[in-house]
């Protein structure tokens, strides 16, 4: 069986973008692969976090993964800071990654512009930690949204370079990017990706938003001055809504265009809002139930960490030997 690794940051409430672009696929892949899924809190502190909020968001993100359908019996679901090898391999790999390569990463450029008061070294080396996450588990496939494609290519480059020097230490990972909704856009500025760290809550739909809130956010989604529901170059707002609607209902763009022919945007936005609300309703209900079972959640993430620890240590030991660290 092939191995899958992916992660999500506990930087806030998970969005519809995270769900359609990543987590929904994670669930589907569990049947066929060995899957490792992590709440990547080491990544989260590249942006300043409140300690108490980070702790709460980490537990909530874990519960939300289970609510989305990640099965802790089938998959290894763990919290990144519980497994030491991530930070350790990250340091080694950072010595095999060039300053110039990291300087080309568009997420660094975006995030350092948005957080100009805290352009820390961790934000810069974020992709190295991500490479460590993936390579530790010898992952074959990494299901992510398209915004992570560049980071994934860097992880491959680092792995290839390391293998070139020391023999086959790492499996070269491939991306697994969904065809539909690989990039869900902001509802307020459809040229920007929907992001959970957006300051404007109307820009994103949180998985845990109530149905009324979801519908309201879609009603106020920014579109264009035309009236026809059609997927066309330049109609970013409508294109985004069509992709979302298609991803949650399984309808093709043609079927959607026919369904809303002559009906105008108002009716379409309402339909999208309702369809999304229905998709997310059971997730929210399961989340509420899990959050009442703190002991169960603890048990799950501890077991997950144990399994992840064992797998990752094997890779780390090999790496330490290859680079010439004296054995204990
Ligand atoms: P942040 O703004 O803090 O980086 P984020 O919303 O980008 O938060 P991440 O934890 O960085 O969330 O990413 C988790 C996963 O969700 C990644 O696989 C990423 O590719 C995917 N993802 C994030 N935003 C979107 C989006 N708008 N559309 C599709 N996939 C997305
Ligand atoms: Mg992100």
Q: How is residue 141 written in tokens? A: 């496939």
What fold, for 3-177+293-323?
Rossmann fold (3.40.50)
What pLDDT does residue 198 have?
Answer: 85
Active-site amino acid positions: 111, 193, 196
d(CA 264, ligand 2 centre) in Å: 33
Q: How confident is the model at residue 180 (pLDDT cuts 50, 70, 90)?
A: confident
Give residue-wise pLDDT tens across range 113-155: 999 999 999 999 999 999 999 999 999 999 999 999 999 999 9
Per-residue burial over 147-174, b = 16 or more CB atoms within 10 Å of its CB, e = otherwise: bbbebbebbbbbbebbeeebeebbbebe
Q: How confident is the model at residue 55 (pLDDT cuts 50, 70, 90)?
A: very high
Reduced to 3 states, what is the DSSP secondary structure of residue 321? Answer: helix
Reduced to 3 states, what is the DSSP secondary structure of residue 211? Answer: helix
Question: Residue with the nearest Cα to atom 18 of ligand 1?
Answer: 144
Question: Residue with the nearest Cα to atom 16 of ligand 1?
Answer: 18
Tell me if 164 is assigned to a ligand binding site. no
What pLDDT does residue 12 have?
Answer: 87
d(C-alpha 52, C-alpha 62), whole Å = 16
CA distances from 42 to 77, 136, 162, 177 (A): 16, 15, 23, 23
Q: How confident is the model at residue 196 (pLDDT cuts 50, 70, 90)?
A: confident
Prediction ipTM score = 0.98
Give residue-wise pLDDT tens across range 268-288: 999 999 999 999 999 999 999
Tell me if 8 is assigned to a ligand binding site. no
Whole-number percent of the chain with pLDDT over 90: 97
DSSP string, 161-192: HHHHHHSS-SPPPEEE--SSSSSPBPSS-TTS
Assigned CATH class of 201-288: mainly alpha
What is the rounded average pLDDT for all residues in the chain? 97
Strand residue runs (E) in 62-138: 76-79
Q: How confident is the model at residue 259 (pLDDT cuts 50, 70, 90)?
A: very high
Domain boundaries, the chain: 3-177+293-323, 201-288
d(C-alpha 52, C-alpha 10), whole Å = 12
């Amino acid at each position: 069986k092939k191995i899958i690794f992916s992660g999500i940051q506990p930087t806030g409430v998970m969005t519809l973008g995270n769900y359609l672009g990543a987590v929904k696929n994670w669930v589907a892949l569990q049947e066929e692969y060995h899957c490792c899924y992590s709440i990547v809190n080491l990544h989260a502190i590249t942006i300043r976090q409140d300690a108490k909020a980070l702790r709460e968001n980490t537990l909530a993100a874990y519960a939300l993964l289970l609510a989305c359908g990640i099965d802790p019996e089938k998959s290894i679901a763990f919290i990144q800071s519980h497994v030491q090898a991530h930070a350790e391999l990250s340091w080694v790999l950072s010595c095999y990654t060039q300053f110039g390569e990291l300087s080309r990463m568009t997420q660094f450029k975006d995030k350092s512009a948005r957080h100009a008061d805290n352009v820390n070294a961790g934000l810069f080396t974020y992709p190295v930690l991500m490479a460590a996450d993936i390579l530790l588990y010898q992952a074959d496939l990494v299901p992510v949204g398209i915004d992570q494609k560049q980071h994934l290519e860097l992880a491959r480059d680092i792995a290839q370079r390391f293998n070139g020097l020391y023999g086959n230490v790492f499996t070269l990972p491939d991306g697994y990017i969904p065809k539909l909704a690989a990039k869900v856009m902001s509802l307020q500025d459809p040229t920007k990706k929907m992001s959970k760290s957006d300051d404007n809550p109307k820009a994103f739909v949180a998985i845990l938003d109530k149905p009324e809130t979801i519908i309201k956010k879609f009603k106020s989604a920014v579109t264009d001055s035309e009236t026809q529901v059609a997927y066309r170059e330049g109609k970013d707002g409508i294109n985004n809504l069509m992709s979302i609607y298609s991803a949650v209902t399984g309808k093709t763009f043609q079927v959607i265009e026919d369904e809303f022919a002559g009906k105008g945007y108002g009716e379409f936005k309402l339909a999208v809002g309702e369809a999304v609300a229905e998709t997310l309703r059971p997730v929210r209900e399961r989340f509420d139930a899990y959050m009442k079972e703190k002991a169960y959640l603890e048990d799950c993430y501890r077991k997950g960490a144990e399994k992840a620890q064992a797998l990752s240590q094997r890779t780390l030991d090999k790496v330490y030997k290859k680079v010439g660290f004296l054995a204990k």
